[in-house]
């Protein structure tokens, strides 16, 4: 075989290898993609090797210089994109507003807070699908439950996925038939069957793989945070966040918008940050926010201070949670609240040198990326979770990540406790500044009533005059007072001594949200 034929075969082989690399790895075609630079480097080295294999040492200085330029491009591009040279730019990647007051959700918004965590949602979702024999034999529920606002209520949604290559091949013509919706506050799960199946999904293969489908339309666009959502009509969509590197050559990842994909037809639409649809919930996810907030907190007083003096360094809190296998995991976790049909994610802020307490809280809009940081001292989430677990240690329950709310002007953590199977069993409210003050019980409403001693202040409580049909005081230690009015409405509150004066037939004025009540004074 002559040299020319060998060269042709080598070049064709190199082209095929490159085609395979691009098809499998999907490298964004951009000068800012360090991965693409490595692919170029490998190709340059392979090309110069072939050149010198046939030409000997001819032009070796030129080819060596070409290799050196590519290598220096990677090394110097990485170095001069680093935080050492751009501390201020890195600390300004997020839109952060410092608030003088604790802008916390109030107790009357507890129905907007999904207290159930993802692991418990998985349990409910898997049980629902497990009862559908035809579905469970071909599909699985994705572990990526997303907390979204659906008709201004918090829900967690997760699409079904193909259970491997062969199940994809057997079902690809009809696609994935539905998704699971979990209502965390009702502790219920629902399977939503679609009229037409989803074909372009992350668990598909070849051209129907969602990432590959997006890449071949937008090969020069950086994207990540691939996740499932639904529209206000319940239609499925996949969403990816688009971003650019804005600092140096490879640094400063900054979100620029999103792409919304119809998984049934494969149609997709790209939006910049100013035009994102109102119904969409997640462009900036919690992990992105926590990562770049930690960079902000590390560089807040300059790069060298982050290494040596470490004055004033702050970071988002991490907690110990337990996965479905019971394994302890130390990671960022988040609370959520639905507000004005947006999802607000929030977590604690702590000093880097002190992880025993929080110095504040951050709340971030996952659609717009707007972040509010409020500084006030409180117990850290890990401590209150362990304290709540200690109250019922004989049961072996685990606490989910708490949400911080304003209860009658007092910051307090609200959380659920779940058993080893991941099912929600109890609720807890813990004073954020003094975690020895806590209430644990089987009903959130009752726990709230006991925590406030029945003195619940809220703009949503309406004044109402009723005639008592029946009154009962139930329980010992911390009894609960129930009253039934002549319209058969039932109200309850934590016991107060003045409630001993309530009698059947008495007309009283109360403040109530329809369930909890307090007496008018």
- Let me know whether 204 and 55 are in one domain: no
pTM score over 0.75? yes
Question: Could you tell me what percentage of the chain is helix, strand and coil, using 3-state DSSP and rounding each to the nearest 5?
Answer: 30, 35, 30
The C-alpha atoms of residue 427 and residue 439 are separated, in whole angstroms, by: 8
Using alpha carbons, list the distances in angstroms from residue 236 to 174, 189, 228, 277. Answer: 15, 17, 7, 15
Count CB-CB contacts under 10 A for residue 390: 11
Does a structural domain hold residue 487?
yes
Q: What is the mean pLDDT of residues 325-339?
A: 83
Q: What is the mean pLDDT of residues 422-433?
A: 91
Using alpha carbons, list the distances in angstroms from residue 123 to 164, 209, 324. Answer: 21, 27, 9
Residue 390 · residue 312 · CB < 8 Å? no
Q: What percent of the chain has pLDDT above 90?
A: 63
The C-alpha atoms of residue 503 and residue 390 are separated, in whole angstroms, by: 39
Across 50-64, 82-96, 325-339, 439-453, the highest mean pLDDT is recorded for 82-96
- Let me know whether 236 and 190 are in one domain: yes
- Let me know whether 143 and 23 are in one domain: no
**Which pLDDT belongs to residue 449?**
79
Q: Which two tokens stand for residue 16?
A: 């095929």
- Let me know whether 116 and 222 are in one domain: yes
Query: With 70 as the cut, is the pLDDT of residue 1 above it?
Result: no
Question: Strand 410-418 relative to strand 398-399: parallel, antiparallel, unpaired?
Answer: antiparallel
In this structure, of 24-38, 191-205, 301-315, the range with the lowest mean pLDDT score is 301-315
Mean of the per-residue pLDDT values of the chain: 90
Give 100 or 390, the one with higher predicted confidence: 390
Does a structural domain hold residue 309?
no
- Domain of 21? 3-79
- Let me know whether 38 and 161 are in one domain: no
Choose the final residue of a domain: 286, 321, 349.
Answer: 286
- Let me know whether 126 and 205 are in one domain: yes
Taking only the tens place, the pLDDT of each residue in 160-169 is 999 999 999 9
Q: Which helix (H) or strand (E) holds 465?
A: strand 462-474
Does a structural domain hold residue 292?
no
Burial environment of residue 251 by CB neighbours within 10 A (0 to 12, 13 to 18, 19 or more): buried
- Let me know whether 28 and 168 are in one domain: no
Q: What is the mean pLDDT of residues 111-140?
A: 88
The C-alpha atoms of residue 402 and residue 215 are separated, in whole angstroms, by: 38
**Which pLDDT belongs to residue 316?**
94
Q: What percent of the chain has pLDDT above 70?
A: 96
The C-alpha atoms of residue 379 and residue 374 are separated, in whole angstroms, by: 15
Q: How many domains does the chain have?
A: 3
- Let me know whether 42 and 170 are in one domain: no
| DSSP symbol at 412 | E
Choose the final residue of a domain: 64, 79, 94.
Answer: 79
**Which pLDDT belongs to residue 230?**
98
Q: What is the mean pLDDT of residues 99-106?
A: 82
**Which pLDDT belongs to residue 310?**
87
In this structure, of 206-220, 301-315, 491-505, the range with the lowest mean pLDDT score is 491-505
- Let me know whether 40 and 111 are in one domain: no
Does a structural domain hold residue 119?
yes
């Amino acid at each position: 075989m002559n040299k020319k034929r060998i060269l042709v075969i080598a070049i064709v082989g190199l082209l095929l290898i490159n085609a395979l690399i691009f098809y499998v790895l999907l490298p964004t075609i951009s000068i800012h993609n360090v991965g693409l630079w490595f692919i170029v480097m490998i190709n340059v080295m392979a090309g110069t090797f072939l050149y010198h294999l046939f030409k000997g040492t001819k032009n070796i200085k030129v080819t060596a210089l070409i290799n050196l330029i590519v290598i220096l491009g990677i090394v110097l591009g990485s170095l001069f994109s680093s935080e050492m040279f751009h501390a201020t730019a890195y600390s300004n990647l997020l839109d952060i507003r410092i608030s003088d007051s604790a802008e916390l959700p109030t107790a009357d918004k507890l129905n907007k807070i999904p207290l159930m965590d993802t692991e418990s949602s998985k349990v409910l979702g898997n049980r629902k699908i497990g009862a559908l024999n035809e579905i469970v034999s071909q599909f699985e529920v994705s572990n990526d439950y997303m907390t979204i606002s659906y008709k201004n209520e918090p829900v967690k949604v997760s699409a079904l996925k193909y259970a491997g290559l062969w199940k994809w091949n057997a079902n690809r013509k009809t696609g994935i038939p539905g998704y699971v919706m979990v209502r965390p506050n009702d502790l219920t799960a629902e399977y939503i069957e679609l009229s037409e199946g989803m074909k372009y999904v992350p668990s598909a293969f070849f051209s129907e793989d969602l990432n590959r489908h997006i890449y071949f339309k937008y090969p020069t666009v950086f994207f990540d945070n691939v996740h499932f959502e639904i529209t206000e009509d319940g239609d499925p969509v996949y969403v990816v966040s688009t971003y650019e590197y804005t600092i140096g050559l490879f640094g400063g990842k900054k979100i620029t918008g999103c792409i919304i994909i119809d998984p049934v037809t494969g149609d997709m639409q790209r939006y910049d940050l100013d035009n994102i649809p109102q119904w969409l919930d997640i462009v900036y996810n919690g992990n992105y926010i926590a990562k770049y907030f930690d960079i902000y907190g590390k560089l807040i007083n300059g790069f060298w201070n982050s290494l040596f003096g470490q004055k004033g360094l702050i970071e988002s809190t991490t907690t110990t949670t337990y996965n479905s296998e019971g394994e302890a995991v130390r990671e960022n976790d988040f609370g959520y609240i639905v507000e004005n049909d947006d999802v607000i994610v929030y977590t604690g802020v702590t000093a880097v040198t002190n992880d025993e307490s929080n110095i504040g809280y951050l709340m971030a809009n996952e659609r717009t990326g707007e972040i509010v940081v409020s500084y006030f001292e409180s117990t850290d989430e890990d401590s209150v979770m362990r304290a709540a677990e200690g109250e019922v240690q004989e049961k072996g329950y685990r606490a989910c990540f708490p949400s911080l709310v304003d209860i009658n002007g007092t910051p307090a953590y609200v959380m659920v406790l779940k058993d080893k199977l991941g099912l929600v069993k109890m609720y807890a409210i813990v004073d954020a500044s003094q975690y020895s003050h806590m209430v644990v019980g089987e009903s959130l409403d009752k726990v709230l009533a006991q925590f406030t001693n029945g003195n619940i202040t809220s703009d949503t409580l309406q004044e109402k005059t009723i005639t008592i049909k029946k009154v009962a005081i139930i329980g010992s230690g911390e009894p609960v007072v129930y009253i039934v009015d002549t319209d058969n409405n039932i109200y309850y509150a934590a016991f107060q001594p003045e409630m001993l004066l309530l009698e059947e037939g008495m007309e009283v004025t109360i403040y109530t949200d329809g369930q909890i009540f307090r007496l008018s004074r």
